[in-house]
Amino acid sequence: MKNSNAQIAQSLFEELYPICRSITGNGVRETLRILQEYAPWNIHEFSSGTQVFDWTIPEEWNIADAYVKDEKGNRVIDFRVSNIHVLNYSEPVQGKFSFFELREKLYTLPEFPEAIPYRTSYYNRDWGFCLTQNQYDMLDPYSDYEVCIDSTLEPGSLSLADMELLGNEGKKTYIISTYCCHPSLCNDNLSGPILTTLLYRAMKKMDLRHNYRFIVAPETIGIVTYMHANESFFKEVDGGFVITTTAGPGEFGAKMSFLNNADVDRVVRLSFSERNMKFREYAFAPDGSDERQYSSPAFRIPIATITKDKYYEYREYHTSKDNLDFVSGDNLSETLKLYISAIEKIEMNGVYKVLEGRGEIQLGKRGLYPTVSGHVKQFAHKNIESSLNIVGDIVYSNPIDAISWFLFYADGNTDLITVSEKSGVPVEQLYEVAKKMLHEKVVVQVES
Ligand code: ZN
């Protein structure tokens, strides 16, 4: 188990969690630098004030400390305890405020009184503190409070990173994208850059046919910046995945692309169904994450997302309770298996044409009819109920069924993903059959 994906994920969670990130600043830079120790991310900087499509890169934000002190000098709200206590992107402030003045700058979650909410103010200059309702209730309305936010907002740059895996055919290009702008929050969003980094490492070991571009950037402004700098590249992208909220304790989910039946959608559904796994399917909506940019009218790239405790859907979302206790490296590595499975299906897909198309192929005379034990993988029972947290093995179909379905659709028009959807035979099993039939010169591959 040494250096398993689960262990690397767990140690990255622990290393990255304390860092105060935002859409710009040293927290993001430090995060990208740590990720570089695990995969060859190329870091790029874009200057404040740069116009990127309809947006402008804001001034860079950095913060050293922040607190609210009572009259005895106790830090009753303390950035050192949790960096989400500060309204993210707060301008600097120093001074004494009455409770009633301070109250206007405080954010709580009355319905979840022990959690600190996460709030930002990127594009309106403002300051504030986020605290638990329980902390708020302890404040004295008749006291004055000393407030300090030791932050800077100055011309600087926005940091993001990318890397690439080029396939040996390179006919199709996919993006695998995530964001890195949330401070000490685990499922949303540290689980995204960690899974994306581990997915790269897994895919680097594959013999890939297609091209893949990996991107980690601050959400929205970072991706808009990256697309602005790489506009012609994005005109050629066939599809992709936005990686977010992958490591919670709850149910698996998948958000589909605006097309709903793009190859990225179909391989995600098959990755669950081939394992008889339950998951919650979310139809496309123009909300969520950076699919909003990738799928916008000028680009229309279909994007799918596999989640484990999807953003918006869990109580701890965007609060201090989305912490190291909420996520685990084990959970993340289960979601990673599903992404790897989806990528493998994209890679295995292909269209085949049978050379003798009149009637059925006589398999017996070619030695292709499976014996009792089967030339293909052993047939497994289809009644396996996967538990919520474990991504089980693919449940193979009867080998004769697999051959029959493959040959029936070896018509030069139907790809393996479609055959799998129509037959219930896993793509992996159809691919094994295809390789055998190619070898025996029963079929030719007409398209990849
Ligand atoms: Zn978020």
- For residues 278-285, give the mean pLDDT: 96
Q: Does residue 15 surpass a pLDDT of 50?
A: yes
150 C-alpha to ligand 1 centroid (Å): 24
121 C-alpha to ligand 1 centroid (Å): 13
Ion ligand 1, residue ranges at CB < 5 A: 188
Nearby residues of 67 by Cβ (< 8 Å), 6 or more positions away:
75, 77, 78, 79, 80, 146, 147, 148
Distance, in Å, from the CA atom of 216 to the CA atom of 29, rounded to the nearest integer, reads: 11
189 C-alpha to ligand 1 centroid (Å): 6
Q: What is the per-residue pLDDT for 388?
A: 60
Q: What is the pLDDT of residues 338-363, one digit of tens each?
A: 999 999 999 999 999 999 878 888 88
- For residues 234-251, give the mean pLDDT: 97
- 338 is written with which tokens? 């599903």
- With CA atoms as reference, report the closest residue to 243 among 170, 310, 182: 310
316 C-alpha to ligand 1 centroid (Å): 11
Lowest mean per-residue pLDDT among 39-53, 70-84, 322-336, 377-391 = 377-391
Q: What is the per-residue pLDDT for 368?
A: 83
pTM of the predicted model as reported, rounded to 2 decimal places = 0.95
188 C-alpha to ligand 1 centroid (Å): 5
383 pLDDT tier (thresholds 50, 70, 90): very low
Name the β-bridge partners of 175: 213, 240
Residue with tokens 């029963």: 442
378 C-alpha to ligand 1 centroid (Å): 44
318 C-alpha to ligand 1 centroid (Å): 6
Percent of the chain scoring above 90 in pLDDT: 90
- For residues 55-78, give the mean pLDDT: 98
Q: What is the pLDDT of residues 190-208, one digit of tens each?
A: 999 999 999 999 999 999 9
Q: What is the pLDDT of residues 126-156, one digit of tens each?
A: 999 999 999 999 999 999 999 999 999 999 9
Distance, in Å, from the CA atom of 42 to the CA atom of 163, rounded to the nearest integer, reads: 6
371 pLDDT tier (thresholds 50, 70, 90): low
Name the β-bridge partners of 113: none
When the pLDDT of each residue in the chain is averaged and rounded to a whole number, the result is 94
Distance, in Å, from the CA atom of 422 to the CA atom of 306, rounded to the nearest integer, reads: 23
244 C-alpha to ligand 1 centroid (Å): 9
266 C-alpha to ligand 1 centroid (Å): 26
Q: Does residue 373 surpass a pLDDT of 70?
A: no
Residue 286, number of CB atoms within 10 A of its CB: 9
Q: What is the per-residue pLDDT for 375?
A: 45
367 C-alpha to ligand 1 centroid (Å): 56
Q: Does residue 385 surpass a pLDDT of 90?
A: no
- 254 is written with which tokens? 């998948």
